Structure formats: C-alpha cells, structure tokens
Amino acid sequence: MAKIISYNLNGIRSAMSKGFIEWLKSSNPDIVCLQETKAQPEQIDISLFKELGYSVYFHSAQKKGYSGVGILTKINPDNITIGCGIKKYDDEGRVIRADYGDISVMSVYMPSGSSGEERQAFKMEWLEDFQNYIDTLKKTKKNLIICGDYNICHKSIDIHNPIGNAKSSGFLPEERAWIDGFINSGFIDSFRHFNQDPHQYSWWSYRANSREKNLGWRIDYNLVSETLKEKLRRAVILAEAKHSDHCPILLELDID
C-alpha cells in the first residue's frame, strides 16, 4: 500500500514555520507532491526532510519566490524528470515526475488566470499543451498519477457558489470543459471515485473567514490512470491541516 499526498503549500518556508514538518512526520506519507514552493532549493533546509527518510527533488521557477513544484519520496524512484520540455512552462517550475517501475507520479502546478486576461490566455495555452504532453507521455507511461493544483473546479458540487462564480477564473465553462475532457481521456478523479458529498473543498480564500465558513473550492486533484482503478483504496481531503490556504489531499493505493 502506498500513501500519496498532494499539497499546495503556498510557500514551503511559510508552511514549515507553521508546523508542516511535524505534521509530515505524524502523517507519514510515502510520497508527497508539493506545489507552489516559492523557493529556490538552496533556500530550503532539506535536512529536515531527509531526517524523516525522504529523498528530495525540487523544480523551482526562475523567478524567485514564485511557483515551483517538488516531490518528497520514501520509495526510491527509478527516474526523476524535471519539467515537461516546454520552456515557457519549465521556466515557471510547473511539472516534476518520479517513475517507480511501471507507475509514474507527477506533481503539477497549473497556472492561475485570476490576475487578468494575459495570464488567463497563458492558462488556456497551458491546458491545451498539457493535454498534448500527457497524450504523448501515455504512449510510454501508461500508469500515471497526476497530483496537484489544477486551479479548476470541475463541477458545481466542487465550489461553494457556482452561480456567483460562473464568470470567475477557475470555474469558467471552457476550463470546466477542459478538465472534463482531460478526465475522460483516461483518468479517474480519485476523490470523487469514493466520495460524492457536497461541500468538500481543498482551497479557501484568506478573505472573509472563508475557511471557517467552509466557503471553498476543490481545485486540487489526484487524477489516476484508469488502468490503476482496481488498485485504488482510499482518497480523502485532509482539511484539518492548516499550513496554507490549500489543504493536503490523500490517495492510498496498492502498488508493488
């Protein structure tokens, strides 16, 4: 049984100052996919992770204090791939992949379009390019676990105010259509595989006591290739962990 956690930390150094290391020790996942690390590798005290038994891999953005992804793993990977091979995305530190035999685990931080039209256009370009990248990757890596912050709510059940947010980046019809198509291209939304309840979110605005009121969005996903369906055992949102404006999401599955 492998225990995989995906977590947008909104700054790894900030999260570490809020007890992230202690939480990691007690929750003890095998693999941790991190997003929005907002740090260069030399700015992170990796010895704290190594003391817990993790090998540490980061892909930072060229711009300091921005974006960035990472993988912490207690299982030795056969291979680590940094980036997706497209410079404008790799410069922003958005993709890192670890291969374990015939299974690959990816940490992905998809762009946000909330800052304006230019970044929304960038996000839509990314979505098309990422679909093409994964379609190609699936030819050689058939068993994918794509963990991360997708910055999109899939369905109305995944957002606290679907009517009021109908024109908000992250819930636009074209974004929702993309994630629908992406899942239908051969993936399982592991959380919804086990849980169809409403009011299940992974991100809350810092404004207006949104988290206390549970006025959130579910934008973090562990999407799993359909080929791994029989190996899925559990998927939950760990909303009690508070080191970020996101919370971690957990996936447990049987892998050799």
Active site (annotated) includes residue 180: no
Residue with tokens 């996936």: 251
What the block records as the tokens of 232 is: 């899925």
Number of H helices, E strands in the chain: 7, 14
Q: Which of 30, 149, 158, 220 is catalytic?
A: 149
Burial of 103 (0-12, 13-18, 19+ CB in 10 A): buried
Whether 250 contacts 3, CB under 8 Å = yes
User: DSSP assignment, residue 76?
Assistant: P
Alpha-carbon distance 78 to 80, whole Å? Answer: 7
CA nearest 151: which of 131, 171, 166, 167?
A: 171
- The residues that are catalytic are 149
